[in-house]
Structure 1
Amino acid sequence: MISPSFSSYLPLPLPLPLFCLLFIMLGTPVSLTTAWFEPEFENCRDSKFKCGNITAGFPFHGGDREKECGHPDLELECGDDMATMKIRDVRYRVLEILPDRQILRILSEKVINKGICPPPFPDEDWIQDSPVFTPGPGFASVTLFYDCLSRISPDLLFFTCNKNYDHSNVSVAIANNTSIHPEACLHRANVMIPETSLESLRNHSPDWKGALETGFEVQWRKNYAEECWKCTSSGGACGLGIHDEAYCYCPPGKWSGPEGKECRPHT
């Protein structure tokens, strides 16, 4: 007679539905409910984006800051010790960040590398329609007219381009100027410059390159200050959740509740 093996006395594994029911009835360990939040909490609390003279926290992400720590359209990158970001597929150099005023001062890298004549010059009309940004104070829009067959107005600045460039000339006008008729121009683009530079250009200052390289300011529309203060006051770290709404990441032992706005003891 063959004796039964030891394995025949082992209990059979529970069916999966019954196992899940027992898991719920016995309660989920606190460590399992909070550990999921730990990486986001520590990263969003402790990390800063640092590149050259630019340092940024919430609502930005990039570098050591995970994407959960900032707005998807406020991603910063670092290369050659210079901070940059992409907006509408155009790369801009970040010259300054003023978080208290929600202001970014940026400059197209194409302007830096190529100046005013080489195409494609980025058209900055996107600012008017952007759900994320709005034009900053103290800046004005001007229109660049390219390859005009003749001077479209004696009052406009007119530049002749180097023969190595695809464009032959460019005229500079205040945006929405109704006194000019640029029908004979092949291309146009709107750009932002400081109002102080605009006054200089009106006086026929030749320093167009200097006006461009100052960059221009945009403000990010959403103000997270109150929500972030509420989160950090409760011991949490500010980040972003679904629908780009502010979310409060909490340390182990706490959770942010159904609204995700502040940390509270886990019960």
Structure 2
Amino acid sequence: MQFQLLFLVGATLLLSLPQLCICSECSESFKCGDDAYSYPFWGNNRPQYCGVPGFQLNCRDSSTTQIEIRNSNGFVQTFIVLNISEANQIMTIVRSDVWGSAFDGVYECPSAFLNDTTSYDSPFEYVYGTLNYTLFYGCPFNVSYDSGGFSCYDDANNTRSSLYLTADSVGPNQNSSECQGAILILVRPSSANLNTYDILQNGFDVKYVGSYNLDCVNCTNSCGTCRSSSGDFYCYSSGNRDPINI
């Protein structure tokens, strides 16, 4: 009798171990430098089943959080994640090809500019009030900060180039036709009066659609762990192999 009881207890513990491991892994946040984000995000130390497809984060240089977003044409573009307000489900991002550092007033030219003017085929949508700007690059003329431009340095060719940013409602500068090309830049309304460099570095906001935060808060308040399967939300308790009702 004692042997049977010990066998049943042991078998129960063995069956519980996979679920306990899953719950333990999903209780850990995605971490990159000072950033720490939880459900629906995943990546690095958080397995895919701890988040939702389309919310994978990557850690660049151990300090910079990145996300790849696919547009309606199937083109995938990388963005730097500046901040995520999990309670409001708003993520502030900036295009990786225009994000960078300026040293002594000189901005390093991106290696390539990628034009992305189509809507996103993803769980993200633009926050209301987001502004459209146009960034002209490879311009053969100098433009001052006050008029919407600044210079960047091309390490590969050891040359300087001018960038020129203008609001779509204002219209392009008469010399912009001489520039090498142009790309669409999305801008936060609060950044509109800043200089060109700061406008680019401040990025823009997107909202992720769905009740992810509310679902997960209700789950954790019930002592559960947030998970997903095939994009569907599940709440698991640490001692139960089946989802719990919330």
Q: Give TM-score scaled by structure 2 length.
A: 0.69
Q: How much is the aligned-residue C-alpha RMSD, in angstroms?
A: 3.6
Aligned to 2:3: none
Larger Rg: 1
Name the CA distance, whole Å, in 2 between partners of 1:109 and 1:119. 11
Percent identical among aligned pairs is: 24
Q: Deviations over 1:136-162 (max 9, x none)?
A: 3564221123456899xxxx7455665
Q: Name the structure 2 match of 1:237.
A: 225
Any unmatched runs of 5+ in structure 2? Answer: 1-10, 70-75
Can you give the 5+ residue segments of structure 1 that lack an aligned partner in the other structure?
Answer: 1-28, 201-206, 257-261
Aligned counterparts of 1:253 and 1:162: Cα–Cα separation in 2: 58
Relative to 1, partners in 2 of residues 1:186 and 1:239: Cα closer, same or farther, differing over 3 Å?
Answer: same
User: Normalising to structure 1: TM-score of the pair?
Assistant: 0.64
- The 3-state SS of whatever aligns with 1:39 is helix
Give yes or no for contact 2:148–2:196 (8 Å, CA) kept in 1: no
Which one of the candidate residues 88, 96, 100 is aligned to 1:101?
88
| Rounded Cα–Cα distance in structure 1 between residues aligned with 2:30 and 2:153 | 39
Indicate how the Cα distance of structure 1 residues 53 and 124 shifts in structure 2: closer, same or farther if over 3 A, else same.
Answer: farther
Structure 2 residue corresponding to 1:198, chosen from 192, 217, 233? 192
Flag the 1:178–1:263 CA change in 2: closer, same or farther, 3 A: same
Distance 1:148 1:41 in 2: 54
Give the Cα separation in 2 of the matches to 1:62 and 1:161.
33
1:69 to 50, 55, 62: 50
Deviations 1:100-123 (CA, angstroms, capped at 9, x unpaired) = 111222233432158485452244
Q: Return the letter of the residue paired with 2:100.
A: I
1:63 aligned counterpart, secondary structure = coil
Question: Is the 8 Å Cα contact of residues 108 and 153 (structure 2) preserved in structure 1?
Answer: no
The 5-angstrom pairing of residues 47-126 of structure 1 reads 47-88=28-69, 89-110=76-97, 111-112=99-100, 115=107, 117-125=109-117
CA 1:81–1:97: 2 relative to 1, 3 Å: same
Is 1:42 aligned to 2:24, yes or no? yes
Question: Matches of 1:166 and 1:141 in 2, distance apart?
Answer: 29
